[in-house]
């Protein structure tokens, strides 16, 4: 039934719905890792340290849960399960890892769903965020890279975890000394997930000629990405709380300056430093550390640099 829905959407897309496909391809871009990571960084650096921390915290938990579910269920992508399904354009290039649950939907649920679950946010903002969240999920169906259950579970899990993260952040406001427990819990879970991903057996799929279609160990790469992002954030967040405590209660010109420097620095780390780290170390550990340096830079290095530069 799930694949039949994708075939129905594919037939519509190839007919009257071609123009809609390009629009939804832009929507799926909003759920990509680099997109949501940059959005979190800008919010965290320039607009609201507390709200940015909440979004990064929830997203970090979401990446661990998403990675665990992917390598536990080991669900193949739709075009592997049914060769009649042909994803739109180059959509397959960003559809890495196992299919269930959808990583793009989880990312969109963390960013936009993180706004939706916050009743203290303006109603209009929550409504708009909800529309974007739904469009990101639907785009994964329309482009032919995920099934309906991939999207629904990704969306449901991300919303639940963002709500729990909001409760966690509220608890930490009343018990700030408990932040060590949160960091320790996150690091322990990340290590356990890494061991699970490395040691568990994976199914192998072959085509009619006996060639490997899906190599399980490579599919676990997304899980190591999530571990790296999460560990980098938690360590950086803890150090920032202890040694930096930067503020976003600043003037508009200073926000603009942070935004400009932050944008340049983010892409330098994302496009230059992280790939170098990944190539230098290699393997799953290289993937883990390349992602770790990105969130550590966002949560600690850049705030530390701004505090010292702004003093001067």
CB 258 within 8 A of CB 46: yes
Helix 103-116 and helix 49-73, axial crossing angle in degrees, nearest 10: 150
pLDDT value for 17: 67
CB 130 within 8 A of CB 116: yes
CB 176 within 8 A of CB 245: no
DSSP structure string for 2-59: HHHHHHHHHHHHHTTTHHHHHHHHHHHHTTSHHHHHHHHHHIIIII-HHHHHHHHHHH
CA 100 to mean position of chain CA atoms:
14
The whole-angstrom separation of Cα 274 and Cα 148 is 33
Domain boundaries, the chain: 2-311
pLDDT value for 311: 76
pLDDT value for 215: 73
Positive or negative, the CA dihedral 149, 152, 157, 160 is negative
Mind listing the pLDDT tens digit for each residue in 160-174?
999 999 999 999 999
The whole-angstrom separation of Cα 43 and Cα 113 is 15
pLDDT value for 210: 65
pLDDT value for 69: 95
pLDDT value for 115: 96
The whole-angstrom separation of Cα 4 and Cα 267 is 40
pLDDT value for 37: 95
From first to last of its 312 residues, the chain has per-residue pLDDT tens of 678 888 888 888 887 767 888 889 889 999 999 999 999 999 999 999 999 999 999 999 999 999 999 999 988 889 888 888 888 877 777 777 788 999 999 999 999 999 999 999 999 999 999 999 999 999 999 998 999 999 999 999 999 999 999 999 999 999 989 999 999 999 999 999 999 998 888 887 776 666 776 777 777 888 999 999 999 999 999 999 999 989 999 899 999 999 999 999 999 999 999 999 999 998 889 999 999 999 999 999 999 999 988 776
């Amino acid at each position: 039934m799930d694949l039949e829905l994708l075939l129905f959407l594919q037939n519509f897309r190839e007919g009257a719905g071609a123009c809609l496909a390009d629009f939804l391809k832009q929507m799926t871009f909003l759920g990509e890792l680099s997109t949501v990571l940059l959005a979190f960084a800008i919010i965290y650096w320039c607009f609201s340290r507390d709200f940015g921390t909440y979004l990064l915290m929830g997203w970090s938990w979401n990446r661990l849960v998403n990675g665990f579910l992917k390598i536990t269920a080991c669900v193949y992508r739709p075009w592997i399960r049914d060769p009649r399904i042909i994803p739109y354009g180059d959509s397959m290039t960003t559809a890495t890892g196992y299919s269930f649950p959808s990583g793009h939907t989880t990312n969109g649920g963390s960013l936009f769903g993180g706004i939706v679950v916050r009743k203290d946010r303006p109603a209009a903002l929550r409504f708009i965020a909800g529309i974007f969240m739904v469009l990101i999920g639907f785009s994964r169906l329309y482009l032919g890279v995920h099934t309906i259950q991939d999207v629904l579970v990704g969306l449901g899990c991300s919303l639940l975890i963002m709500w729990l993260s909001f409760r966690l952040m509220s608890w930490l406001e009343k018990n700030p000394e408990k932040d060590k427990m949160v960091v320790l819990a996150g690091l322990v879970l990340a290590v356990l997930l890494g061991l699970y991903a490395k040691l568990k057996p994976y199914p192998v799929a072959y085509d009619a000629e006996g060639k490997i279609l899906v190599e399980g160990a490579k599919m676990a790469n997304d899980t190591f990405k999530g571990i790296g992002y999460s560990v980098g954030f938690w360590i950086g967040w803890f150090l920032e709380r202890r040694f930096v405590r930067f503020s976003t209660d600043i003037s508009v010109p200073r926000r603009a300056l942070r935004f400009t420097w932050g944008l340049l620095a983010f892409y330098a780390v994302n496009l230059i430093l992280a790939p170098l780290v990944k190539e230098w170390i290699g393997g799953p550990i290289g993937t883990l550390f390349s992602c770790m340096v990105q969130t550590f830079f966002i949560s600690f290095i850049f705030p530390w640099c701004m505090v010292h530069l702004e003093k001067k």
